[in-house]
Structure 1
Amino acid sequence: MQTNLSDSAKRLVHAAEAERVLRSCVHCGFCNATCPTYQVLGDELDGPRGRIYLIKQFLETDEVSDSTQEHLDRCLTCRNCETTCPSGVEYHKLLDIGRAAVEARVERPLGERLLRAGLRAVVPRPRLFQALTRSGQAFRPLLPAALKAKLPAHVARAKERPQGQHARQVLMLEGCVQQSLSPNTNAATARVLDRFGIGVTPAREAGCCGAVDYHLNAQDTGLDRARRNIDAWWPAIQAGAEAIVQTASGCGAFVKEYGYLLRDDPAYADKARQVSTLAKDLVEVLREAPLETVTLCADKRLAFHCPCTLQHAQKLGGAVEDVLKRLGFHLTAVPDAHLCCGSAGTYSITQPVLSRQLRDNKLNALESGKPDAIVTANIGCQTHLDGAGRTPVRHWIEVVDEAMG
């Protein structure tokens, strides 16, 4: 695509990157065929091709409006379009640049500003989030339905983690909201890894991966969180930790981008690249384990929801399903498994109507095979889908841990 950036656009920090991505697009429109928001709304400007046009128009003419911001906000950043694109357009990189540039020019209504500031103040802080979650649970009957759906009806307590020492050690990102909404997930991960002779080295100083701030256009704050995590992990990496395991695929996708995001930071570029290389979704570690040597009771019919951050961002579609099948679980078929559930980080809060419609469509597909339970690999998807109060939704590693006994 021919592109001529305006003088002001050329002064943007990532102007060259924006131009590179824009020029790679041939405008074929294949992306719209798999875009969840385009399928629901049927508006060209609510599909990847239309959003690319909007960003291009802004960067060339320096003209932008709240309508442009609205169409960019509606994007889930599911990256389904990138899986579909025959030209390899790195749409999410252009979207991040475009959103940040538009944010600097278009003032949001007060309500939106307060909501986004509130999300950034609460979600990345596990202790604060936990306190608010517990308060919400205590007053659950009094909450409005929309807020009640965000709180799980039951939170399984975290079981004891193994204390055994192993030659093989990995780090594990504990996450933000997962510690409150599904605290047993990481404990189950530690127990399953222990079965295969892998220990988890604690890194208490590591915190939020930075994705929440970054995708709400507070990009500098998100990168600062990335730097703090690198500092927290670095001693263990130097001591020989073989991987940084993520049990939330959304966090994993972002940590794997550290090398790209900090490529121009002379103090962190090399470390960030190494961290991105070591970052592994849990399934990448377990699929190399001798799973066939384990005896377990895999008597449940499961439907697996593959998060967008796992299949489109990390390119690990089918990996969890393969592990579950090797362990003896029966998986039901899921139509349109490539489509987003509507969670998308904070999207379910900032775009509630679209998000609920996508959730209900996804649940209809997941439940079509009459599963006993739905399992997934991302806390956002898990909470979002479970909030409908239909088939129970859990992290897949918890089901594996229980089946191992």
Structure 2
Amino acid sequence: MQTTLSEHASQLPRAAEAERILRSCVHCGFCNATCPTYQLLGDELDGPRGRIYLIKQVLEGNEVTRKTQEHLDRCLSCRNCETTCPSGVEYHNLLDIGRAVVDAAVQRPLAQRLLRQGLRKLVPNPGLFKGLIGSGQVFRALLPGHLESKLPRSAEPAKQRPTALNARKMLILEGCVQSSLSPNTNAAAVRVLDQLKISVTSIKQAGCCGAVEYHLDAQTAGLDRARRNIDAWWPSIELGAEAIVQTASGCGAFIKEYGHLLSTDPAYADKARRVSALAKDLVEVLRDEELERLGVKSAQSIAFHCPCTLQHAQKLGGAVEAVLTSLGFNLTAVPEGHLCCGSAGTYSITQPELSLQLRDNKLNALESGKPDVIATANIGCQTHLGGAGRTPVRHWIELVEAALP
């Protein structure tokens, strides 16, 4: 695609990257065929090809409008289009660049600004979030439906973590909301890894991965959180930590971007690349181990929802399914497994109508094989799908841990 950046756009820190990505797009339209919002709305500007065209216009100096912002806001950032694209267009990076330029030029309505500011304050703060969840449970009956559905209906309390030290050592990210919404997930992961003679440590100073702020109009704040996490992990990395494990694929996808997003920061570029290289989704660790040592036994029928951040961002589609099958779980078929469930970080709050349509479509596909339980690999998807109150939804590692002898 021929592109001529405006004088202003050419001065942006990521101008060369934006121009390279724009020129790699051949406008074939294959991306629209797998775009969830294009399928729902049928509007060219609500598909990747149309959004690329909008960003091109903005970077070439054309007028930026609220409508432009709305079309970019409706994107789930699911990256399904990247999996489909034959030209390898790095759409998510272009979207980040375009959104930053548009958001700097167009002021959102007050209600949206307050909502996004509130989410940026609340979600990355585990203590504050936990207090709000507790209050929400007390006043559940008074909450609007779309907020009430975000509260966990039942969450298994965290089991005790093993204290024995093994020769192999890894770090684990506790995350922001998972400790409140699904407190046993990380505990289950630690217990399973202990069975494989791997000790796992969480570093208290490592908090939110930064994705929430980065994707809610505060890219600088998101990258500052990335730097703080790198600083927190670095002493353990120097002491030989084998990996940084994430049980939430959304966090993992963003941490694996640290190296790219901080590549121009002379103080952090090398460290960020190292952290991204060490970042592993839990399934990347387990699939390389001798899983027969676990002795797992289960007759449960499972439908696995592969989060977009696992299959499209981390390119690990099919990995969890392979591990569960090897452990003896019965997996049901899931039609259109490549499509987003509509959670997409805070999308289910900022775009509730589209999100609920996608959720219901996804649940219909997941439940078509009549599973006993739905498993997933990301707390956002787990909460969003579970909020419908239909088939129970759990993190897959909890099912594995529960089936240990």
- TM-score, normalisation: structure 2: 0.99
Shift of 1:155: 2.0
Q: Residue 326 of structure 1 aligns to which amino acid in structure 2?
A: S
Matched with 1:394 is: 394
Deviations 1:46-95 (A, max 9, x none): 00000000000111133110000000000000000000000000000000
Q: CA deviation at 1:298?
A: 1.2
Deviations 1:203-232 (A, max 9, x none): 110000000000112000000000000000
- Asked if residue 197 in structure 1 is aligned to residue 206 in structure 2, the reply is no
Match of 1:374, SS state, is strand
Deviation at residue 280 of structure 1 after TM alignment: 0.1
Distance 1:144 1:107 in 2: 27
Question: Is the Cα–Cα contact under 8 Å of residues 157 and 184 in structure 1 kept in the other structure?
Answer: yes
| 1:149 paired residue number | 149
Contact 1:203–1:233 (CA under 8 A) maintained in structure 2: yes
Q: 2:138 is matched with which residue?
A: 138
Letter in 1 for 2:395: H
CA distance in 2, matches of 1:130, 1:61: 44
Match of 1:276 in 2: 276
Q: 137-146 vs 284-293, which deviates more?
A: 137-146
Tell me which residue corresponds to 2:75.
75
* Secondary structure in structure 1 of the residue aligned to 2:60: helix
| Rounded Cα–Cα distance in structure 1 between residues aligned with 2:105 and 2:293 | 58
Q: Tell me the residue number matched to 2:103.
A: 103
Aligned to 2:304: 304
Q: Which residue of 1 aligns with 2:11?
A: 11
Residue 363 of structure 2 is matched in structure 1 by 363
**2:169 alignment partner, SS class:** strand
User: Match of 2:120?
Assistant: 120
Superposition deviation, residue 156 in structure 1: 1.4
Distance 1:98 1:342 in 2: 22
Query: Is this contact kept in 2: 1:201–1:236, CA < 8 A?
Result: no
The CA deviation string for residues 303-333 of structure 1, in whole angstroms up to 9 with x for no partner, is 0000000000000000000000000000000
The equivalences for 1:2-401 within 5 A come to 2-401=2-401
SS in 2 for 1:61: coil
Amino acid at match of 1:93: N
Shift of 1:368: 0.1
Residue type at the aligned position of 2:291 = L
Quick one: which amino acid aligns to residue 358 of structure 1? L
Displacement of 1:13 in angstroms is: 1.4
Contact 1:8 1:62 in 2 (8 A): no
Q: Which moved more, 1:362-371 or 1:154-163?
A: 154-163
Contact 1:207 1:229 in 2 (8 A): yes
Task: Give the conservation status (yes or no) of the 8 Å contact 2:36–2:340.
Answer: yes
Distance 1:376 1:274 in 2: 28
Q: Is the 8 A contact 2:249 2:378 kept in 1?
A: yes
Amino acid at match of 1:168: R
Q: CA RMSD in A?
A: 0.6
Q: Secondary structure at the match of 1:147?
A: helix
Percentage identity across paired residues of the two chains: 74
| Inter-partner Cα distance in structure 2 for 1:93 and 1:202 | 30
Q: Deviations over 1:271-309 (max 9, x none)?
A: 000000000000000001111233222110000000000
CA deviation vs aligned residue, 1:155-176 (integer Å, no higher than 9, x gap): 2111100001001000000000
Q: Indicate if the aligned counterparts of 2:78 and 2:308 stay in contact, CA closer than 8 A.
A: yes
DSSP-derived class of the 2:185 partner: helix
Task: After TM superposition, give the deviation of residue 139 of structure 1 in Å.
Answer: 1.4
- Structure 1 residue runs of 4+, over 2 Å off? none
Structure 2 CA distance for aligned equivalents of residues 24 and 228 of structure 1: 34
In structure 2, C-alpha distance between the alignment counterparts of 1:9 and 1:68, rounded to whole Å: 17
Question: Counterpart of 1:118 in 2: which secondary structure?
Answer: helix
The one-letter code matched in structure 1 to 2:347 is Y
Name the CA distance, whole Å, in 1 between partners of 2:260 and 2:66.
Answer: 29
**Offset of residue 153 of structure 1:** 1.1
**Equivalent position SS for 2:224:** helix
- In 2, Cα distance between equivalents of 1:144 and 1:267: 46
- Contact 2:304/2:376, CA 8 A, preserved across alignment: yes
Letter in 1 for 2:324: L
**Shift of residue 142, structure 1, vs aligned partner:** 2.0
Say which is worse superposed, 328-337 or 291-300, in terms of deviation. Answer: 291-300
Alignment: residue pair count: 405
Distance 1:210 1:8 in 2: 28
How far apart, in 2, do the equivalents of 1:83 and 1:69 lie? 24
- SS of alignment partner, residue 225 of structure 2: helix
Partner SS for 2:153: coil
Q: For 1:134 and 1:86, locate their aligned partners in 2 and report how far apart those are by CA, in whole Å.
A: 47
Shift of 1:143: 1.7
Which structure 1 residue ranges, 5 or more long, are not aligned?
A: none
